[in-house]
Amino acid sequence: MGLRKAASYSKKRIRTYTRKSAKRKKAYVKAIPAIKIVKYNMGNKAAHVAGKHNYVVSMLADEKAQMRDNALESCRMIINKSLEKEAPGEFYFEIKVYPHNILRENKTAAGAGADRLSSGMKHSFGITVGRSAIVSKGKEIFCVFCANEKVAQIAKKTLIKAKPKVPFKNKIVFNKVK
């Protein structure tokens, strides 16, 4: 079975319910899934530390929402691959959010004979299925630092390519640092 769609996780209550139980054994999340994100910083870090990057192109969230780690990773891959192809060594790329939130799912069987397989809501706390980052309105998701305006325009086009992979409204901001 594949992943549930983003609408399964309500936007009204973003933070996951943390179970509180009198029995210590049942009061915490036992298994935390591994993070799918490989790297958070890519590109020419030495130039960034030296202060040679004059432009910043950022993707900002327009609403408070969750972003799964697999969505972050797919955006990272498309942005990094595109920038390496178009402007190798002339950028520094950062992912600004971290998937701390643990997603759970109460799997139930449907169909003929499902009553023998499923416990319904009897043990409804759910098993861990993934992780997500809680992103508040106005928070930076991705930042690309560039030395010149030509590379900054390439970075802007690249972030526009990654826009459909983000599960909430967002905008791209183009700034000059110096």
The span from the first CA to the last CA of the chain, in angstroms, equals 50
- Asked if the 32-104+128-176 domain carries CATH number 3.60.15.10, the reply is no
**Residue bearing tokens 């595109």:** 82
For 149, how many CA atoms within 13 A lie in the half-sphere containing its CB? 2
What is the tens place of the pLDDT at every residue in 83-107? 999 999 899 999 999 998 888 877 7
pTM here is: 0.80
Q: Do 130 and 3 contact (CB within 8 A), yes or no? A: yes
| Residue-averaged pLDDT of the chain | 83
pLDDT at 123: 61
Estimate to the nearest angstrom the gap between the alpha carbon of 35 and the chain centroid: 10
